[in-house]
Amino acid sequence: MTRFISQKLRFYSFVCIALLLFVHGYNLNETYLQKDSLVNEPLTFTTFIEYFLANGVLRFRLPLLFIISGYIFALQDQRPYAERIKKRLVTLIIPFLIWSAVGLAITYLFQQFPVTAKAVKDAQLDQLGDNRPYNEIGWGGILLRWIVVPISYQLWFIKSLFFYNLLYPVLKWMVLKYPRIWFSIVSFLWIIGFGIYLIEGMGLLFFSLGIWLCKNNYPLDRKPQWFSSYVSWLFFIGLSVIKTFLAFELENDGSNWHSWIFILLYAGSVIAGVMAIWFSTDRLVKWCMGRKWFIWMAAFAFVIYGMHVPLLPYAIRLSCRYFYNVPNYRLVAYIMVPLMVMFFCMAFGALLRALLPKVYKLATGGRGF
Amino acid sequence: MQAALAQQAFIHISTQDGMGLSSNTINTIYQDKKGFIWVGTSNGLQRFDGSKFVQFSTGLEAIPYSSLTQIIQLDSNCLFLSFPTIKEFGIFNTSKSTYKKVGLKTSMELRPRTDPFIWKASDGELYLDLHRYGVLHYSKKENAFIEDNPFPFPKGWGQGLYATTFEDVVKKQYWFSGDSGICIYNKPTHEVWTRNYNPQHIAILNNSKVQDKITELYIDKKRRIWVCGWPGIGGQVRYCLDSNGNYLNKDTIGLNTGPVGYSEYRRFYETRKADFWISGLGVLYKYDKKDQRFNYIKSNLSIDNIGINYDYVFQVMEDNDGAIWLATDRGLYFTSVASSSYAVINILFDNSKSTTSITDILEMPNGNFWFTSWGQGVKSLDKNFNTVANHVYDQKPKKKDSVAFLEGVSKMTWCMQRQSSTGSIFIGCNFGVLLVHNPTKNTTEYLRPAIFNNSTIRYITEDKQGQLWFGTQGGRLIKYSNNQFTLVQEIGSIIYKVFIDNQGWLWLATHEKGFFAIDQNTGKVLQHYTAGKERNNLYTNTAFDIEQLNDSIIVVGAGALNFVNKKRQTIRLLKYEDGLPSNTVERLRVDKKGFLWIITANGLSRYNPLTNAITFYGSKDGIISAEQAKSADYVSSQGLLMFAGSNALVVFHPSIFANTQLPPNVTITDFKLFNTYLPVDSLLGSGAVKLRNDQNSFSLYYAALSFMQHDKLSYYYKMEGIDKDWIKADKSLYINYSLLPPGKYTFKIYAENIEGMRSQNITEIIVHIKPPFWRTYWFLSVLLLLTALAIYSVYTMKVNKLLAVEKIRTRVARDLHDDMGSTLSTINILTAMAKNKMSTDAVRTAEYLGKIGDNSQRMMEAMDDIVWSIKPSNDSMQKVTARMREFATNVLEAKDMDIKFNIAEDVLDIKLNMEARRDFFLVFKEAVNNAAKYSKAETVWIDISVQNRKLILCVKDNGVGFTADNADNGNGIGNMKKRADGINGRLDIHSKEGEGTKIRLSVPLG
């Protein structure tokens, strides 16, 4: 792996996580956007932008993160499997437990004051649908929310990643032995939205793709001859725009034909987006990675990732309630609140790293030192 | 003065009101949670929203247009309906507007007159009492009434059942009535108690008078048991007993004052405030808590328009506002609580013998009210509005006067005023007669001052200085001060009213002379307003009444309302067109809160100076015949407003109309698309009304479903997407929208009452008019994407074309340089060498010249090849193969070699581009040249064919062949390989010494 590729991987790891805040920070009436979600509210500049970003163009993040993860994991084949898994326990599972507990603690703290407690209730983050104060749900409920269904729901990614790391030998064998069959199967699983707890189509496909790219020494630093930046950006943005307009203009008539259109648009946009982003932003990557402040910020990617939920949904609810008389408050909240939460997380990370470096290391799995 | 206190007013709704009621026989009524009144008529089911009835009878299974006698709420969306005449029951889903029949499964055939009665128990179970059959239970599973009721009746008891079961929720008992008396099912013990089995010793079961043929049972909130029955031939018996079996005769006072002749008590009803009603055939009683007796309610002819007429009152129902609805065989009746509690006193006078025309009102210091009347003189009522005597006429005119004349004229009273300094009552009469009555001494003076000029005294008032002012029919304004009458002003027409404002100005309302302001000291006219077309004119020159709203504004009833700003001397009119009920304003009176009360030809209204809003009050509010009370007005010391006139007196305290209740939320009652009503519940349930782009004209009907407040609400609406601000709706209760462009709209509406209070919630309905797909953003985006792709493709093609030209130019330049440049250099060198040797060495010179000639020849051939390959006319394979054949013939025949040239037919259809054609030809040329030069063959075979989408060239000879060692690896074979690569071809060379050579070129096609 060249130095530039390494820089690129770090750059996109941070960018994908930073953009995650804009995916989780929308304030549409539809509180849980899925790839085929329709929007039952008027199309305005604000609602368009929120859907376009949160459920359109920014959908490339997770596939890219899975590719990067698969690629990096496959690079370390020379190390024994057990050792690697042991390391993953430290870098994935312990941070999972820590940040899940942090999410619970933040929620509990918010539940203690009437104003913030209302924000907790309105955010409806609890994956079990029981948004009662934690005083009322008991230790069993707390334990369940800590380990199985964290209030920081974004942590499913690292749990899922750990599972793919465990499955790595199988995945590698399939990828190298029967690449066509394997990729056909996992692509199909991705398209149909297959998912059972930790195994789901998207992760399998793109983690496998990362392995394949690594093991075939695919020249990631060279733009393929057939690749056209223009066409890939056109499809990336164009399909996302079409999908966004469709989301506002189509109506759920009980049939799921619209879902298939959305899934195809989503898949096309993600594929075009991943390629457009990877192959045509080298100058931006070089510029950013040449700046100290960017490197400093990128070091806190994991803190942002671990901490932004539930902080962000609560902050969004509070800002919408208290600043509703500010013109275009929804759009302002959508842009400003994620940025503020991101800076807060970075500040928190910087403080933690400075004051309690060992704790920081444990919480981030050693990332950002 | 024979006065009758009017009973409460009933609003009558019938088939003739144009609201769409389908029949005047209303069997049942029900109000749902939204506030809609559902009506069961002899023609089926209707829904009333306050302004119109909507008939429900559509769907696959239609609701019958038959007599609907019961409407029972099944759940939040469903009503259970009973059509006894056709023995049909059904469930109507109000949100989906669907109807489903309910079966009736009986083991025996029903006998005639098995009247059904459905009742819903407090546990939600439905039962059907079939008269002379028994009790059936509704099974949801079977969607039918079946014989599985849980009541263990004594054998044969059910067959004698009457259809009037009562549930005693307090004791968890069901009371059944029947031929064999009363039967009580005690739910906790699952026992049935009758007169034959009465372990609890319930008194009524042992009562000898209620043993047989009990038809009605009711236990009220006071635990009184009301029982009706037909034990014998004496007609219906009615009892009211307590739980110990004692007869409560005091509680039934008034019930015996009811109808003469046949009647049936059928229903008992208690309101939330424990008002008690009894209804039935020829019967409607209401218990008066104040008088502690029942009042029989049925109209008499004199107050027909506000009374209730019926032969049968089927049901009494209290609505959400506390108003009472009555289902009768003469239509639907509605009565408000305000009128029932006598908060408004309507006194109507019997005009069958003489007219009681009240002309003025005066409150005496003892609280009694005196009334002047034309023809009957001064009359009095006490503060409870009971008639009392007065002594105005006790003293007769003195003998020297014209006694008969004065006695007669003194009954033609027009006005009166109490002189505050003496307490004397001045009473103005016809012919300038003035009575001065001393109520303390009960003396009366009969005066006829000459200054009145025998003219009727129309108005008397007193100013702050205690001076009395008189206005006469003849138009004189006369002052009475210090026991002297003074003529102040001569108007020349009737002075209807003299009003003294808070500045002390006198204002005169006159007949056809306009409106005057008079200086009371000088008697000069300060201001005079008349009618006219210009601004600041009165509506009409005849003014009846005057009031003052504030220091500046004097309001005059001259046709319309005329607001005179005495400081600016301007007039603002408020007319019928602006919301005034009529342009005939008769009386005005400002109450203590500053509201202006108005009597017009269309009754009573209130003007709110703060909001400029007019509110009408009619019989729904308990105001009866206000349009008759147009001659006199008064505010009592208690704040009571009084209006009186011909045979009518209306008295009320304005505070009773102060509304402290929020208006209800507005309900969208109907959605009419073009001319079709859509099921509105279903539309609202789906979250939005979704319409095609051509369904863009519709009407939204709305109402705040409070029938009490209905007329006094203002509605404000806004269609977001079109309207920027809230718009005040007119009284039509619907809004039309036409030709709306596609888009998502949100219709919002709220109600506001006269106090300015708004509905708690704004009612919203989303209307989505879908655009045609070619006008959707997503389609435009697709077009944009395709356009961008097309532009990109065109751009790419153009760039490729330029690149191709560039490539050709490069190739030609390279070929010229490679093929010609070096040859010309060689020629140049050879020429120089030949020049040097020309004089010394002729042989060498000749050799050089020969080489120059060979090079020139080769250069010409190369040039020929280049030009040939570029020339578009040589693009076809015919031309290529023809040239190949020509070349081979020339070269090989010169060496005496045989040529076997074979070209497959399909080769001729192949198109090769310029470069491929040239490379293909040059490989061939090289191969043939090699064969000619080195093979020493006798025969050369040349085959050109197409195999597996590949163009195959095969040049084979039977010459000496060669080995790799002796092969020329110079330009010959190397060039061939290079050119084969250039066209993605494959070159195979097979040769062995003595076995000839085979060169095979395979070029993929397309």
Task: Tell me the pTM.
Answer: 0.65
Look up the CATH number of the domain holding residue B691.
Answer: 2.60.40.10
Q: How big is the A-B interface in CB pairs under 8 Å?
A: 39
Half-sphere exposure of B795 (CA within 13 A, CB side): 9
Please give the Cα distance from B407 to B401 (Å, whole number): 10
Query: Is B688 close to A40, i.e. CB distance below 8 A?
Result: yes
Owning domain of residue A35: 3-364
B789/A248 touch (CB, cutoff 8 Å), yes or no = no
Please report whether residue B938 resides in a domain.
yes
- The position carrying tokens 């990557």 is A285
Which pLDDT score is estimated for B641?
Answer: 93
Distances (CA, A) of B433 to B408, B410, B414, B430, B469: 11, 7, 10, 6, 15
User: What pLDDT is recorded for position B878?
Assistant: 87
A134: helix, strand or coil:
helix
Q: Which residues contact B163 (CB under 8 A, 6 or more apart)?
A: B115, B116, B117, B129, B130, B131
Instruction: Verify whether the Cβ–Cβ distance B781 to A245 is below 8 Å.
Output: yes
For helices B914-930 and B842-870, what crossing angle results, to 10°? 140
Looking at the domain assignment, is residue B31 inside a domain? no
Indicate yes or no: CB of A246 within 8 angstroms of CB of B778: yes
pLDDT tier at B349, thresholds 50, 70, 90? low
Burial of A268 (0-12, 13-18, 19+ CB in 10 A): middle
Indicate whether B339 pLDDT > 50: no
pLDDT score at B57: 65
Choose the closest CB to B785 out of A40, A230, A234: A234
Distance from CA of B782 to the nearest CA of A (A): 7
Residues of B in contact with A251 (CB under 8 A): 690, 768
Q: How far apart are CA B633 and CA B554, in angstroms?
A: 17
Tell me how long chain B is: 1006
Nearest Cα neighbor of B767 from B732, B721, B729 is B721
Closest in B687, B746, B778 to A242, CB measured: B778
* Token pair belonging to A188: 């199909």
**Residue B79: closest CA among B114, B121, B43, B31:** B31
> Which tens digits make up the pLDDT trace of B57-116?
654 567 888 889 999 998 888 999 999 888 899 999 887 778 899 999 988 888 777 788
| Res B3 pLDDT > 60 | no
Check CB contact under 8 Å for B781 and A230.
Answer: no
Could you give the percent of chain B with pLDDT greater than 90? Answer: 44
- Given an 8 Å threshold on Cβ–Cβ distance, is A242 in contact with B746? no
Among candidates B687, B771, B782 on the partner chain, residue whose Cβ is nearest the Cβ of A40: B687
Min Cα distance B764 → chain A (Å) is: 13
Per residue in A105-160, pLDDT tens?
A: 999 999 999 999 999 998 888 888 888 899 888 899 999 999 999 999 999 999 99
For residue B964, what pLDDT is reported?
62
- Which residue of B768, B776, B781 is in closest CB contact with A241? B781
Residues B777, A251: C-beta atoms closer than 8 Å:
no
- Find the helix or strand (DSSP H, E) in which B181 lies: strand B181-186
pLDDT band at B465 (very low <50, low <70, confident <90, very high): very high
Cβ distance of B744 and A43 shorter than 8 Å = yes
Contact assignment for A234 to B688 by CB distance below 8 Å: no
The tokens for B643 are 């209006």
Task: Give the contacts of B575 (CB within 8 A, at least 6 positions apart).
Answer: B539, B560, B561, B583
Looking only at the bridges linking them, the beta strands covering B763-769 and B743-752 are antiparallel
Closest CA to B275 of B239, B223, B346, B323: B323
User: Which chain B residue lies closest to A42 (C-alpha atoms)?
Assistant: B744
The residue among B868 and B202 whose pLDDT is bigger is B202
Determine whether the interchain pair A238/B768 forms a contact, defined as Cβ–Cβ distance below 8 Å.
no
Distance from CA of B720 to the nearest CA of A (A): 10
Most confidently modeled of A119-128, B419-428, B699-708, B872-881? B419-428
Nearest-angstrom CA–CA distance, B642 and B223: 42
In DSSP terms, B31 is beta-bridged to: B37
Pick the residue with more confidence: B825 or B370? B370
pLDDT recorded at residue B617:
87
Structural domains of chain A, count: 1
Nearest CA in chain A to B785: A238
| Residue A3 predicted with pLDDT over 90 | no
Q: Give SS3 for A122.
A: helix
Task: Find the helix or strand (DSSP H, E) in which B314 lies.
Answer: strand B313-318
Residues of B in contact with A40 (CB under 8 A): 687-688
Q: How confident is the model at residue A202 (pLDDT cuts 50, 70, 90)?
A: very high
Tell me the two tokens of residue B136. 């059936």
Closest CA relative to residue B6, chosen from B665, B624, B510: B624
Give A242's contacts in chain B (Cβ within 8 Å). Answer: 778, 781-782, 785
The reply to whether A369 falls in a domain is no
**Contact: A230, B792; criterion CB under 8 Å:** yes
CB pair distance less than 8 Å for A251 and B778: no
State the first-to-last Cα distance of chain A, in angstroms, to the nearest integer. 21
Flag whether B433 is in a domain.
no
**d(CA A246, nearest CA chain B) in Å:** 6
pLDDT at B466 over 80: yes
Whether residue A29 contacts residue A40, with contact meaning beta carbons closer than 8 Å, is answered with yes
Grade residue B430 by pLDDT with cuts at 50, 70 and 90. very high
Final residue belonging to a domain, choices B760, B775, B790: B775
Record: contact A42-B687, CB cut-off 8 A: no
pLDDT given at position B351: 59
Among B641, B850, B621, smallest CA distance to B754 is for B621
Contacts of B871 (CB under 8 A, 6+ apart): none
Dump pLDDT digits (tens) for B893-919.
888 889 999 999 888 888 887 778 888
- B531-583 pLDDT tens trace: 987 778 999 999 999 999 999 999 999 999 999 999 999 999 999 988 899 99
Helix (H) / strand (E) element for A217: namely: none
Q: Are residues B884 and B1005 in the same domain?
A: yes
Contact B301, B348 (CB under 8 A): no
Residue B522 is encoded by which pair of tokens?
């000088």
**CB-based contact A231 B792, cutoff 8 Å:** yes
Contact residues, chain A, for B777 at CB < 8 Å: 43, 245, 248-249
Min Cα–Cα distance to chain B from A242, Å = 5
Residues B554/B562, Cβ–Cβ less than 8 Å: no
Look up the CATH number of the domain holding residue B895.
3.30.565.10
Percent above pLDDT 70 for chain B: 95
Chain B interface mutation, best of A30, A39, A51, A241, highest count of B Cβ atoms under 10 Å:
A241
Nearest to B744 among A42, A239, A245 (CB): A42
Mean pLDDT of chain A: 91
- Of the listed ranges B178-192, B392-406, B440-454, the least confidently predicted one is B392-406
The yes-or-no verdict on residue B311 having pLDDT over 50 is: yes
Measured between CA atoms, how close is A226 to chain B, in angstroms?
13
**pLDDT, chain B, mean:** 87
Domain presence at residue A185: yes
Please give the pLDDT value at position B568. 93
The type of residue at B310 is Y
Q: Would you say residue B756 lies in a domain?
A: yes
Chain B contacts to A (CB-CB under 8 A) = 687-688, 690, 721, 744, 746, 768, 770-771, 776-778, 781-782, 784-785, 788-789, 792
CA distance B297 to chain A (A): 55
**DSSP-derived 3-state class of residue A54:** helix
Output the six-digit token pair for B395: 């003293």
Whether residue A304 lies inside any domain: the answer is yes
State how far the Cα of B193 lies from the Cα of B547, in Å rounded to an integer. Answer: 72
Q: In terms of CA atoms, which chain A residue is nearest residue B788?
A: A234
Are A242 and B785 within 8 A, CB to CB? Answer: yes
CA dist A240 and A238 (Å) reads 5
The amino acid at residue B606 is: R
pLDDT at B2 over 50: no
**pLDDT, tens digit, for every residue of B228-279?**
988 877 788 889 999 888 888 888 888 877 777 788 899 999 998 888 999 9
Interface test with B, best of A251, A252, A258, A262 (most B CBs within 10 A): A251
Find the mean pLDDT for residues B948-973: 78
End-to-end alpha-carbon separation of chain B, Å?
A: 119
Residue after which a domain boundary falls, among B741, B775, B809: B775
DSSP β-bridge partners for residue B192: B185
pLDDT of B340: 44
What is the count of structural domains for chain B?
Answer: 2
Of B746, B776, B792, the CB nearest to A249: B776
In-domain check, residue B922: yes
- Does some domain include residue A263? yes
Q: Chain A residue closest to B795 (CA)?
A: A230
List strand residue ranges (DSSP E) for B729-793, in order.
734-737, 743-752, 763-769
Q: Is residue B969 part of a domain?
A: yes
Burial profile A285-302: b = 16 or more Cβ within 10 angstroms, e = fewer = beebbeeeeeeebbbbbb
Q: Is the pLDDT of residue B644 over 50?
A: yes
Q: What is the pLDDT of residues B130-140, one digit of tens each?
A: 887 889 999 99
Residues 6+ positions from B199 with CB-CB distance below 8 Å: B191, B193
Rg (CA), chain B: 56
Residues of A engaging B, defined by a Cβ cutoff of 8 Å: 40, 42-43, 228, 230-231, 234-235, 238-239, 241-242, 245-246, 248-249, 251
Decide if A297 is inside a domain.
yes
Distances (CA, A) of B327 to B228, B310, B646, B917: 21, 9, 34, 102
How large is the average pLDDT for residues A56-66?
A: 93
Q: Could you tell me the residue range of the domain that residue B919 belongs to?
A: 875-1006
Residues β-bridged to residue B477: B471, B489
Predicted local distance difference test score (pLDDT) of residue B999: 92
Q: Which residues of B touch A232 (CB under 8 A)?
A: none
According to DSSP, the residues that pair with B374 across neighbouring strands are: B412
The tokens describing B619, both together, are 């019989």
Find the residue in A nearest to B790 (Cα). A231
Among B775, B810, B834, identify where a domain stops.
B775
Give B341's pLDDT tier (boundaries 50, 70, 90): very low
